[in-house]
Structure 1
Amino acid sequence: MKTLLQQGPVVSDGAMATELEKRGVDTDSALWSATAMIDHLNAIAVVHQSYFAAGAQIATTNTYQANVPAFVAAGIPAESARKLTQQAVRVAIKARDDYASQHADFSGLVAGSIGPYGAYLADGSEYTGAYQQSVAEYQAFHRERLQLVTGVGVDVLALETMPNFAEVQALVQLVTTEFPEQAYWVSFSLKDPATLCDGTSLAVAAKWVAQQPNVVAVGVNCTTLETIEPALKVLASAVTLPLIVYPNSGDKYDPKTKTWQATNLSHTFESFVPAWLAAGAKIIGGCCRTTPADIATVSQLVSVKR
């Protein structure tokens, strides 16, 4: 990551579930995009490849919602769940390596996606942070997936869509004590440009993260396009770490119906990215409902700054 950042702003990938749905994968379940790991591994690989072709330099593993308890609840035996989680990492690595073998000037990373406890609840809690666990409970929940993902080998961990500061602290402490050589970034879920979903100050949370070992970036994701620039200004005033942003398309999510509604801000990355770069963004990608076309737009705009 540090090597890529030395070359200028870095482009990350976009939505996985959105692209899987286009390929006939039903993600309407508590497992969400992780459902594809059961019998659509090739579709996952194709999505990764499509983002690399669009200009992405980071592939995010399809493990955001993949945890053993969720698989078990869906009727998948625990040992099979462990194998599926690791297979998702291997698919991303192979997609990166296959693309690199055909493009001599390409240098790409694989980020191991670690979603919050709220994602496991499958009720939209990653957008509210309205849950409480003890430090030990948070760490017990995250430990096995971290072991599985890092056991295969990722370049960086993406601790993403994090709405709850207490969980972030417990998770980062787990990573730094039990996986002390592992690089990671932390990306928050926001209530407004200055506040995490649980009410914590974004500046306070970012400052705490910046003081921890092996963190390579801090930022926000799966928030609206118009929230990114003011959030970047808050982050830039609080930390000197590289800043990462990957908003959703601008569509609105209804956690009750698990559906998205289009807005007039959908897919307008072209009008936003220059301001994000000016505000200090060093890594830019997309989250829910974004597409390879959006990432191609980001890549074109970012290339001007390199």
Structure 2
Amino acid sequence: MSAFKDLLSTNDMIILDGALGTELEKRGYDVSGKLWSAKYLIENPQVIQDLHETYLRAGADILTTSSYQATVQGLKDYGLTEAKTLDLIALTVTLAAQARDKVWADLSEAEKARRPYPLISGDVGPYAAYLADGSEYTGAYELSQEAYKDFHRPRIQALLDAGADMLGIETIPNVNEVKALLDLLADEFPSVEAYISFTAQDDQHISDGTPIEEVAQLCDSSQQILALGINCSAPALFDGLIARIKSVTEKALVTYPNSGEVYDGATQTWKSAPDNSHTLLENALRWHKEGAQIVGGCCRTSPDDIAFIAQAIR
């Protein structure tokens, strides 16, 4: 694999897509329950493909598969066989690929010349997503290194077998899970390229309290992690976190915040007011000046946000 490396080497600013689950919710789809948006892989996969197409038309360069909540264990708990769970994880890549094919075919040659060919990033969420209790924002869970690997291995394999161009390992709140994922990639998926991003509750640590510099140094030593950063965290925290990450690595930086609202895992709702002090575009441009190469949005952001970024840089 070299598609992600090539994208980084030829583009000064790369646009990720935005929220999936909260955008479906905004459009009237029920995303409650442990599967969250992944239940639409079973009930109505077309709505996921439609949203992928919307983000691509908005200008996204990297399309994230709908596999964040789609884990083998989570889908088995829903009553599916292991074979069916793997088929559904593979479907997340198929839906993204179909969306890319459709949108790219509709673009004029002039439009294609103004943007890179979009990549499909196989989404690897944390063990916390399976727990569905909001622990993405605390990191308050602990498995053995082998248990973490056993949890992540089949989904990663299914995403790659289905044709994902790269992996997006995201919303990771726990340093020991980071260690397990890096070892898993090195030992069992040595050719895969990936970015990894973490959640944070202050501007110095990831969510479990580990200093961000310590986590960034772990990632800096990985040949397969080509970019790292922060996602689904309050925008106000990013400036300090970016500076600390930059102090220990020269790898590309990734920034895609949530709206600044706070997630309540017990009620599966977003609370407090969004941070409207700056738009996502304003934040993305500022963080780009501070070193972020890959920018986008996470929970409670929208295709309009992504479109504003694309219009500003193209």
Q: TM-score, normalised by structure 1?
A: 0.95
1:258-279 deviation per Cα after TM superposition (whole angstroms, max 9, x unaligned): 1013525158213322221111
Matched ranges for 1:1-306 at <5 A: 1-5=4-8, 6-103=10-107, 104=109, 105=112, 106=115, 107-261=117-271, 263-266=273-276, 268-303=279-314
1:148, 1:225 → 2: CA distance?
33
Cα contact 2:199–2:232 (8 A) shared by 1: yes
Partners of 2:11 and 2:210 in 1: how far apart? 33
Asked if the contact 1:189–1:220 (Cα under 8 Å) also holds between the matched residues in 2, the reply is yes
Q: Over residues 108-163 of structure 1, what are the superposed CA-to-partner deviations in whole Å (9 max), with x where a residue is unaligned?
A: 00000001111111111111111111111110111111111111111110111011
Aligned residue for 2:201, secondary structure, equals strand
Deviation per residue, 1:143-198 (Å, 9 max, x gap): 11111111111111011101111111111111121111110111011121210111
Identity value in percent: 39
Query: What amino acid is aligned across from residue 293 of structure 1 in structure 2?
Result: D
Moved more, 278-287 or 258-267: 258-267
Q: d(CA) in 2 for partners of 1:229 and 1:298?
A: 19
Q: CA deviation at 1:79?
A: 2.0
Distance 1:301-1:263 versus aligned 2 partners, 3 A rule = farther
Quick check: 2:121–2:166 contact (8 Å CA) kept in 1?
A: yes
Deviation at 1:3, TM superposition (A): 2.7
Give the conservation status (yes or no) of the 8 Å contact 1:162–1:189: yes
Q: How many angstroms apart in 2 are the aligned matches of 1:298 and 1:284?
A: 9
Stretches of structure 1 that go unaligned for 5 or more consecutive residues are none
Distance 2:153 2:284 in 1: 35
Counterpart AA for 1:229: D
SS at match of 1:3: helix
Equivalent pair of 2:284/2:296 in contact (CA under 8 Å): no
SS for the counterpart of 1:244 is strand
Select between 243-252 and 107-116 the one with higher mean Cα deviation: 243-252
Q: Number of aligned pairs?
A: 303
Amino acid at match of 2:84: S
Conservation of the 8 A alpha-carbon contact between 1:164 and 1:196? yes
Task: Give RMSD over aligned pairs.
Answer: 1.5
**TM-score, length of structure 2 as denominator length:** 0.92
Post-superposition shift, 1:233? Answer: 1.2
Amino acid in structure 2 at the alignment position of 1:151: D
Q: Deviation at 1:102?
A: 2.0
Q: Which runs of 5+ in 2 are unaligned?
A: none
Residue aligned with 2:308, SS: helix
Instruction: Label 1:2 to 1:224 Cα distance change in 2 as closer, same or farther (>3 A).
Output: same
Q: Structure 1: how far apart are the matches of 2:245 and 2:311?
A: 25
Q: After alignment, is 117-126 or 267-276 more displaced? A: 267-276
Q: In 1, distance between residues paired with 2:191 and 2:133?
A: 33
252-261 vs 21-30, which deviates more? Answer: 21-30
